[in-house]
Amino acid sequence: MKAQSIFIASIIALLTTSCTKKEPIDDLINDRLERSVQQYELMAESLRNQPDRLPRTIDKEGKLVSSGSDWWCSGFMPGTLWYLYEYGKDEKMLDAARDYTARVEKEKYNKGTHDLGFMLYCSFGNGYRLTGDTAYRSALLTGAESLATRFNPITGCIKSWNSNEKWQFPVIIDNMMNLEFLLWASEASGNPTFKDICISHANKTIENHFRSDYSSYHVISYDTITGSVEKKNTHQGYNDESAWARGQAWGLYGYTVMYRETKDPAYLEQAKHIAGFIINHPRLPADKIPYWDFDAPEIPDAKRDASAGAIIASALIELSGYVDKELGKQYLNVAETQIRTLSSPEYFAEKGTNGNFILKHSVGHLPGNSEVDVPLTYADYYYIEALLRYKNLNLAN
């Protein structure tokens, strides 16, 4: 009887091991890229006949919600199409990428937002990188001029949102994501002002946005007369002193890019400190997809934010190439876990479901009760970017 129980227990153990055996990461990435191509073909088709619309999210019934090009996320879906074209080299995907990129073009004149990096560099930037189309280059340079008008030499920063009753000169940590665009513009145009703006903005942000544990505030508002800090607040986080997950992700990604483009070791140190805060955080779940805010009081029942997980994964993969081997391995382990989690049925949508978005479970603005636990274009964009970065890493080794 005893021998029989041991035998059964061994069989169960064997079955459990073989069932939980990890799929090789290369196979998993290739499979999810293929499925993402199919999903985004459906997505592109769904708005084909509405030439001024771009996908945004889904409503409570699961129906696609679209936006105009002035929504801050308008560049992500075209950017994802470019990445998927880069992967599959399929002409249909190229046509879709061109179509949806053109929908964003008028934003190159938009001086009312700081989000032109997201809107134009993800769309036109990837389009230019992959095709060399000079019309794309020209649209990008016009957009960079528009964005640079928001820089103020007194505060030393690019203004995120326009002045309002609450803030004189609000700068959000997300603004670090515009710098890659301006650094490109500096190189492409030979105009050093764009780069000077980036360095000033990044240095001021190190000075004022970060706490001693290297978590960051969401909103820092500056006094426009003295240039000093007026207020330290949040807008999308749990409270002023909390660590809003996506904000930490934007900071990590932004300083990684600043180091890549300037080779200033201060930016590498900043990126490593932010990475340390994130990956060693006691409330980062084992599957490495953050709760929407590291300080959300409802943890462990708080909503997860797939977008923050995807942005962090992509940034860690790049950062792993700039640090010593041991630390690089730690970053890649976290990024691989994030990729595996986001590629699981919990997050990765079945074809034709989820409004044709790739990932489920992102959080846009929880305190505003907007876009909570829904698909979002930027989660898809940075997830696909992370897959391609991880794949290229493996090809290089």
Residues that bind ligand GLY (CB under 6 A): 174, 236, 246, 364
Beta carbon nearer to ligand GLY, 69 or 236? 236
306-319 helix and 377-396 helix, angle to the nearest 10 degrees: 30
- Phi, psi at 52, each rounded to 5°: -110, 15
Cα-based distances in Å from 88 to 37, 48, 93: 8, 21, 8
CB of 174 to ligand GLY, least distance (A): 4
CB of 316 to ligand GLY, least distance (A): 18
Query: Any idea which residues carry the catalytic annotation?
Result: 115, 174
Beta carbon nearer to ligand GLY, 40 or 161? 161
Taking a C-beta distance cutoff of 8 angstroms, is the pair 157, 169 a contact? yes
CB of 250 to ligand GLY, least distance (A): 6
CB of 148 to ligand GLY, least distance (A): 20
- Phi, psi at 373, each rounded to 5°: 60, 55
In 3-state terms, what secondary structure has residue 397?
Answer: coil
CB of 173 to ligand GLY, least distance (A): 9
In 3-state terms, what secondary structure has residue 342?
Answer: helix
CA dihedral over 280, 282, 286, 291, signed as positive or negative: negative
Which of 64, 63, 75 lies closest to 115, judged by CA? 75
CB of 95 to ligand GLY, least distance (A): 29
**Which structure tokens are listed for 105?**
């073009």
Which of 372, 244, 347 lies closest to 287, judged by CA? 347
CB of 236 to ligand GLY, least distance (A): 6
Taking a C-beta distance cutoff of 8 angstroms, is the pair 158, 178 a contact? yes
Beta carbon nearer to ligand GLY, 107 or 174? 174
Distance CA 170, CA 197 (A): 16
Q: Which residues pair with 101 in a beta bridge?
A: none
Q: Which residues pair with 178 in a beta bridge?
A: none
Amino acid in the structure at residue 54: L
In 3-state terms, what secondary structure has residue 308?
Answer: helix
Beta carbon nearer to ligand GLY, 71 or 267? 71
Beta carbon nearer to ligand GLY, 173 or 182? 173
Contacts with 300 (C-beta within 8 Å, 6 or more apart), sequence order: 285, 291
**Which structure tokens are listed for 256?**
């990684």
Beta carbon nearer to ligand GLY, 29 or 315? 315
Beta carbon nearer to ligand GLY, 174 or 230? 174
